[in-house]
Amino acid sequence: MRLFSITPPRRATTPEDLTRIADVTLERVRDLELDALVLYDIEDESDRNPALRPFPFVASLDPARFHADYLRRWDRPVIIYRSVGKYDPTELKGWLAGQDPALVATVLVGASSRDSAVRTRLTEAQSLWRDTGSVVPLGAVAIPERHAHHNDEHDRMLAKQALGTSFFVTQVVYDLTWAKDLVSDYAYACRGQGREPAHVVFTLSVCGSTRTLEFLQWLGVHVPRWLQNQLEHAEDPLSDSYEQCTGMARELAQFCRRLDVPFGFNIESVSNRRVEIEATVRLAQHVRDLLAG
Amino acid sequence: MRLFSITPPRRATTPEDLTRIADVTLERVRDLELDALVLYDIEDESDRNPALRPFPFVASLDPARFHADYLRRWDRPVIIYRSVGKYDPTELKGWLAGQDPALVATVLVGASSRDSAVRTRLTEAQSLWRDTGSVVPLGAVAIPERHAHHNDEHDRMLAKQALGTSFFVTQVVYDLTWAKDLVSDYAYACRGQGREPAHVVFTLSVCGSTRTLEFLQWLGVHVPRWLQNQLEHAEDPLSDSYEQCTGMARELAQFCRRLDVPFGFNIESVSNRRVEIEATVRLAQHVRDLLAG
């Protein structure tokens, strides 16, 4: 499963610029043989972390709108994230009912902290999805960091699967061991319960500067101490992190094959810098070839 | 630096059997091109861990005696561990003063818990070593697990180095990330203080059964969750752990070369089973070739 993620442009963008950005994006991903293009639904998340956000938050366009209005030329599937707390239940249900399940899947994401003011809770959103016939393929996030701290993320995954989730997308992975720990516990739990594991899609993202590194950590990504040292002291962190990502992709692919867990990769850039976006596309090409080989 | 560790035979062994065991051991390690043979000084350590010791403790011969009386045919260096709490200060000082520093190095090890009744404390043993002219090369243990929990093992290493330690030997490594974290923090701390890093020798040990796995964990070795699952479910854990050890050796060698930290490997078997000892010798051959290449 090959995914590539984008964040819709900021809300204030003019229609002309939205068209141009959509064209550039589709041109970029044209040769990546993607199974789907992922559209994130960005939240501020400042309530999740008291530390200063290293990149300022900019409200971005609703991914469903960006898809409907500007990505019509993309004739392959999309996976549209829904930060469900941002939407009214009626709005969310109407959207779910209106999608072509051959072309649109969704990942429902709960609020980033318990204190967030939300219009729809995650459990409610899952009910709305069932009310619309459970036809739009449903994904969920899986977080190796949460597993490292609480040892129950595999149970959460199985519970989500019982409610209809058919694939999981991880948070950005920089700790290979933690990613392996989660998929291993998940695989053995599935075996123990006689259930087929769902696709686990690992998100990979290059890191071209200490600013990007700080942002990844702010987002909750665990970067092992040695790698943090290496990226902080690197002459070319982009090249170092690229090498790290391709190494993790190779190892995770081997590992999942050995465990018989269907898997994939989701490539994203958490920064807007051109060199990082270009490296992201190269990483997606690398993963395309890895999964073809 | 290529080391191979043995535990001296149990105390009750007859002189004939000691001679035979010494011969078998020297035959085993003959082609390993070792820089030194390591002789451990086993303590019960039951005071360190309230859980039942998976392999029963058997008091073994003083490694210095086994060396002096039975390993005379070994004309290359040895590194003799001293669990200093077991010895009287006068006895320890006499031994230190009597060694040929071209052939004998020592690793002074403190008590396994604060509650242990000790005849000599580690700091006192270090003073005795200085009193004898600091001529016997002095090593110390380095524990990645302690670094993972307290983040200060690199500081301890620098402090030990300031007192004369010229090489470090780790506890058995099964968590590659934690080993890399420690050597990385140590390397950058050395750079920051303008000091040359000392040799870091990683101890590797195969694991042929769930019993051995439990013993490693009882000894305080951190085995990542995924690897624990894999070894517990493996048809052939010995072969799996062997593969894991050679993979870690390759990665740690690359990593230390990149960081300009002098390094080595110490190969040991924590179990007495013949298949595990044979695999240990194969692992040492593999490491010999890796470091030659």
ipTM entry: 0.91
Residue B57 shares a structural domain with residue B102: yes
Is B186 within 8 Å of B151 (Cβ atoms)?
Answer: no
Checking DSSP bridges between strand B199-204 and strand B78-83, what pairing results, if any? unpaired
Cβ contact B152:B145 at 8 Å: no
Give the domain range for residue A207. 157-293
B31, part of any domain: yes
A69 touches chain B (CB under 8 A): no
Q: Cβ distance A101 to A135 under 8 Å?
A: yes
Predicted pLDDT at A293: 65
Domain identity same for A213 and A280: yes
Q: Is B55 inside any structural domain?
A: yes
Domain membership flag for residue A147? no
Residue A127 has pLDDT above 70, yes or no: yes
pLDDT of B50 reads: 76
Is A144 contained in some domain?
no
**How does A193-204 read in b/e, with b if 16+ C-beta sit within 10 Å?**
eeeebbbbbbbb
- A141: in domain: no
pTM: 0.93
pLDDT digits (tens, 9 = 90+) for A26-55: 999 999 999 999 999 988 777 767 787 888
Residue B149 lies in a domain: no
* Number of residues that this document lists for chain B: 293
* Same domain membership, residue B189 and residue B282: yes
Kind plus residue range of the DSSP H or E element containing B27: helix B15-29
Are B188 and A233 an interchain contact pair (Cβ–Cβ within 8 Å)? yes
| Residues of chain B with C-beta less than 8 angstroms from the C-beta of A155 | none
Last residue of a domain, one of B136, B169, B194: B136
DSSP state of B60: B
Residue A81 backbone phi and psi in degrees, to 5:
-70, 145
A35 and A96 both lie in a single domain: yes
User: Residue B144 falls within a domain, yes or no?
Assistant: no
Which of B82, B6, B75 lies closest to B41, judged by CA?
A: B82
Residue A189 forms part of a structural domain: yes
Who's near B27: CB < 8 A, 6+ residues apart? none
The answer on A249 and A166 residing in a single domain is yes
Q: Do A180 and B255 touch (CB under 8 A)?
A: no
A185/B233 touch (CB, cutoff 8 Å), yes or no? no
Judged by a CB distance cut-off of 8 A, whether residue A257 touches chain B is no
Q: Are residues A114 and A175 in the same domain?
A: no
pLDDT < 70 regions, chain B = 48, 112-116, 293
Q: What is the CATH number of the domain that holds A17?
A: 3.20.20.220
Which residue from A94, A119, A92, A97 is spatially nearest to A108, judged by alpha carbons?
Answer: A92
In this structure, are A168 and A69 located in the same domain? no
- Type and span of the H or E element at A4: strand A2-6
The CB density around residue A11, as the number of other CB atoms within 10 Å, is: 11
Query: What pLDDT shows up at residue A42?
Result: 86
In terms of domains, do A121 and A202 share one? no
Whether residue B117 sits in one domain with residue B50: yes
Out of A86, A107, A136, pick the residue that ends a domain: A136
Last residue of a domain, one of A104, A136, A168: A136
At B23 the three-state DSSP class reads helix
Please name the member of A180, A226, A233 whose beta carbon is closest to the beta carbon of B180. Answer: A226
Cα gap B5→B39, rounded to integer Å: 6
Give the chain A residue whose CA is nearest to the CA of B233. Answer: A188
Would you state the structure tokens that stand for residue A85, as one six-digit string?
């707390």
Domain match, A97 and A227 both: no
A to B CB pairs, distance under 8 Å: 41
B157-166 own/partner pairs: CB under 8 Å, 24+ apart? B157/B186, B157/B198, B158/B186, B158/B189, B158/B190, B158/B193, B158/B195, B161/B195, B161/B198, B163/B126, B164/B126, B164/B129, B164/B130, B164/B134, B164/B138, B165/B138, B165/B139, B165/B140, B165/B198, B166/B137, B166/B138, B166/B139, B166/B198, B166/B199
Same-domain pairing of B131 and B225: no
Q: What is the overall mean pLDDT for chain A?
A: 94
- Whether B177 and chain A come into contact, CB under 8 Å, resolves to yes
Are residues B69 and B40 part of one domain? yes
Question: What total number of domains does chain B contain?
Answer: 2
pLDDT in tens, B163-207: 999 999 999 999 999 999 999 999 999 999 999 999 999 999 999
Q: What is the pLDDT of residue B21?
A: 96
Note the pLDDT of residue A45: 72
A188–B contact, CB cutoff 8 A: yes
Q: What is the pLDDT of residues A55-72, one digit of tens each?
A: 888 889 999 999 999 999
Contacts of A284 (CB under 8 A, 6+ apart): A2, A4, A29, A32, A34, A267
Residue carrying structure tokens 């043995």? B6
